């Protein structure tokens, strides 16, 4: 049985994980959260190495300190835990439309927390060269554009091009044809 933590769950129900214990944490007391807590207050009221999986759908962009948040995610998750984080793409209208968004993300932002991953033609290793945290280490297992969103044929084409060459999409097409959101699937390295 998986022990799953959902950050900022709101009123969402996570029925797609049968035989799991789902804990939700949210700042609002009126949404039925298991734990009512402000995710910007550290440490979270959760013991170390508690969860097998963590889901954060459209929550990171609302939090001020991405590094501290990822360190807390790392702390509360067991070794090899699965993490799924979805954020709006920084060029998306959905990023700009919400005045409560504090942070912006692009596909490579997570590479600051994933050792041995190279960024584009320049072969920059963000984790090694520009370390933001030695307390949070993940392996990127999958990157997905517009997960769980109905995609138009044109968005499917853009995603295909991005999967073929993310740097080409980012440099040449994304300024004119931005996709909406990104999902990073990670594994905790402990």
The total domain count for the chain is 1
- In this structure, is residue 126 part of a structural domain? yes
- In this structure, is residue 30 part of a structural domain? yes
Q: How do residues 63-101 score in pLDDT, each as one tens digit?
A: 999 999 999 999 999 999 999 999 999 999 999 999 999
Provide the whole-model pTM: 0.91
Find the mean pLDDT for residues 158-172: 94
Find the mean pLDDT for residues 40-59: 97
- In this structure, is residue 153 part of a structural domain? no
Encoded tokens for 7:
């950050």
Domain span holding position 131: 2-148+180-188
- In this structure, is residue 168 part of a structural domain? no
Encoded tokens for 70:
């990822």
Judge whether residue 118 has pLDDT over 70.
Answer: no
Q: CB under 8 Å to 181, separation ≥6 — which residues?
A: 58, 86, 87, 88, 89, 92, 94, 145, 146, 147, 149
Q: Is 36 helix (H, G, I), strand (E, B) or coil?
A: strand
Instruction: For residue 57, give the CATH number of its domain.
Output: 3.40.50.150
CB of 12 closer than 8 Å to CB of 34:
no
Judge whether residue 133 has pLDDT over 70.
Answer: no
Give 155's pLDDT tier (boundaries 50, 70, 90).
very high
- In this structure, is residue 14 part of a structural domain? yes
Encoded tokens for 109:
């932002």
- In this structure, is residue 9 part of a structural domain? yes
CA–CA separation, 74 and 159 (whole Å): 29
């Amino acid at each position: 049985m998986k022990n799953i933590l959902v950050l900022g769950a709101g009123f969402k129900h996570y029925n797609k994980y049968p035989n799991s214990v789902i804990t939700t944490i949210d700042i609002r007391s009126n949404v039925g959260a298991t734990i009512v807590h402000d995710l910007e207050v550290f440490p979270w009221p959760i013991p170390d190495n508690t969860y097998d999986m963590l889901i954060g759908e459209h929550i990171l962009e609302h939090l001020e300190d991405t590094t501290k948040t990822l360190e807390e995610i790392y702390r509360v998750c067991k070794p090899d835990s699965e993490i799924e984080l979805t954020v709006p793409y920084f060029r998306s209208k959905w990023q700009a439309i919400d005045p409560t968004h504090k942070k912006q993300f692009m596909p490579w932002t997570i590479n600051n927390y994933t050792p041995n991953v190279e960024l584009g033609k320049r072969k920059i290793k963000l984790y090694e060269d520009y370390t933001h945290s030695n307390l949070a280490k993940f392996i990127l297992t999958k990157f997905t554009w517009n997960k769980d969103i109905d995609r138009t044929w044109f968005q499917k084409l853009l995603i295909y091009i991005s999967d073929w060459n993310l740097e080409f999409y980012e440099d040449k097409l994304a300024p004119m044809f931005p996709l909406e959101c990104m999902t990073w699937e990670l594994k905790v390295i402990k």
